[in-house]
Amino acid sequence: MRGFSDILPPASRRWGMLEERAREVLGGFGFSEIRVPILERAELFSRGIGEETDIVEKEMYTFEDRSGDCITMRPEATASMVRAYIEHKLYAADPLVKLYSIGPMFRHERPQKGRHRQFHQVNVEVFGVSQPMIDAEIMAILMHYLSLVGAAGCRLQVNSLGCPNCRLPYKEILRAFLKNHLPRLCEDCRRRMERNPLRAFDCKVPGCREIMSEAPLISAYLCAPCAEHFAAVRSYLETLEIAYEVNPRMVRGLDYYTKTAFEVVAGELGAQNAVAAGGRYDQLVAALGGPDIPGIGFAIGMERLLLILPDEPLSSGPSLFIAALGEGPRREAFSLSYKLNRAGVRTLIDYEGRGLKAQMRRADKFGARYALILGEEEQRTGQAILRDMKEKKQEEIPLSSIFEEIIRRVKGRSP
Ligand code: ATP
Ligand code: MG
């Protein structure tokens, strides 16, 4: 199906590596993993993300299941994580809860580079902290992860979207501006103008972009607490020595954000240039039926992250190939290979009983770093030959302690 991909080896190893690093980094900062279902009631997203957003208006996979319930394949994870936080009263002991989740999201979009219908995110959320320190910390964690995995050319952009107090009057002003440019706006922007004029900043139609480059900006209309919060976030970013840019036109595609919003963009990605994005959502927990607890989080788009990683050669070949000739040695190779694999030495044998030359060709083909030769001759002399395929050297090792000798030489060496 278009927009749905298989992740094949050896690329799947890089996926595994990225997920492992995310677990390490997040675990180190005190986050715990949460796994939420892929399906949720459709209304969770329409209420959470907002009716007049691209996601809810055009992108959700929503269907009626066999019991007539209206179900959606999650297009993002924050709403589900908030639902779980409320449903399981995770705030009961203390509202401060740090969670992360890794998994697929589904949006019916036009597939292209960096845009898929099933894509994958690492999602990170902190509940229960309204202080701006956490905003800066969470961005710092994101930037740390991106640099740790080797993502190149990442720039952090931040903005403040204000709160209902300052956003409502600002929306009026923006609406008035949009009305003046009505004939040149796309259909979506016109339709959303009444209830959600901010959406126009996120519109990708060139004509709308041009108009929006002249639009009044929320930064000039922030209320005192929002302006103070934003200034503090920036100063804490500076304390942590995190480079950032203020992008006053960044609004994000989801309605739940309040105050801080941020994106990490990478020039290399072209039109789909956001690798990760997030923000504060101080009203979302309450809006979804929970207590009045603030939250902040971000999502990293793994497909886009992969696009900006350097292509390092990924080898998944065995460390050791055992070439064996004759029934006795083949049985010996079979058992030794099992024990070595169990001990963490990636070992491959030839199952087909080919000749020595053919077996060595296979060792080459699979890119094995070492080849062990076990033949009738070796059995007689009690010595096997271990060949270093890279250095083109070989040595004899005694069969009596072959397992230990191989472990000593091969384990931990890259192929
Ligand atoms: P865009 O503006 O590119 O559509 P978005 O604002 O819809 O992105 P978010 O909902 O904030 O994106 O999702 C966070 C991250 O998830 C994005 O920064 C991106 O890396 C990734 N992402 C979003 N949609 C897709 C998609 N269809 N395919 C691949 N990655 C995606
Ligand atoms: Mg989108």
Q: Is the CB of 275 under 6 A from ligand 1?
A: yes
Q: Where are the domains of the chain?
A: 11-163+223-308, 320-411
Which of 119, 157, 296 to mutate to test ligand 1, by most ligand atoms within 8 A of the CB atom?
Answer: 119
Q: What is the tens place of the pLDDT at every residue in 216-246? A: 999 999 999 999 999 999 999 999 999 999 9
The CA-atom distances, in angstroms, between 15 and each of 11, 117, 189, 317, 377 are 7, 18, 37, 17, 45
Say whether pLDDT at 414 is over 60. no
pLDDT category of residue 202 using cuts at 50, 70 and 90 = confident
Name the DSSP letter for residue 68: S
Q: What is the tens place of the pLDDT at every residue in 296-316? A: 999 999 999 999 998 877 666
Name the DSSP letter for residue 196: -
**CATH superfamily membership of 11-163+223-308:** Bira Bifunctional Protein; Domain 2 (3.30.930.10)
Q: What is the tens place of the pLDDT at every residue in 95-123? A: 999 999 999 999 999 999 999 999 999 99
Q: Report the pLDDT value the prediction gives residue 382, as an integer from 0 to 100.
A: 93
Say whether pLDDT at 411 is over 80. no
**CATH superfamily membership of 320-411:** Anticodon-binding domain (3.40.50.800)
**Pairing mode, strands 70-73 and 39-41:** antiparallel
Asked if 370 contacts 320 with a C-beta cutoff of 8 angstroms, the reply is: yes
The CA-atom distances, in angstroms, between 402 and each of 364, 374, 415 are 22, 11, 19
Say whether pLDDT at 413 is over 70. no
Q: Report the pLDDT value the prediction gives residue 152, as an integer from 0 to 100.
A: 83
Q: Is the CB of 268 under 6 A from ligand 1?
A: no
Name 372's bridge partners: 322, 386
Say whether pLDDT at 39 is over 70. yes
User: Would you call 368 exposed, middle or buried from its count of C-beta atoms within 10 A (0-12, 13-18, 19+)?
Assistant: buried
Name the DSSP letter for residue 63: E
| Other Cβ atoms closer than 10 A to 98 | 19
Q: Closest by alpha carbon to 98, among 79, 77, 110, 81?
A: 81
DSSP 117-137: SEEEEEEEEEES--SHHHHHH
Q: Report the pLDDT value the prediction gives residue 379, as an integer from 0 to 100.
A: 86
Q: Closest by alpha carbon to 264, among 79, 166, 122, 130?
A: 122
If one compares 412 and 25, the residue with the highest pLDDT of the two is: 25
Sign of CA dihedral 84, 302, 143, 251: negative
Say whether pLDDT at 415 is over 50. no
Pick from 153-162, 207-216, 305-314, 336-345: least confident: 305-314
Q: How far is the CA of 276 from the centre of ligand 1 (A)?
A: 8
Q: Is the CB of 230 under 6 A from ligand 1?
A: no
Average pLDDT of the segment spanning 341-361: 95
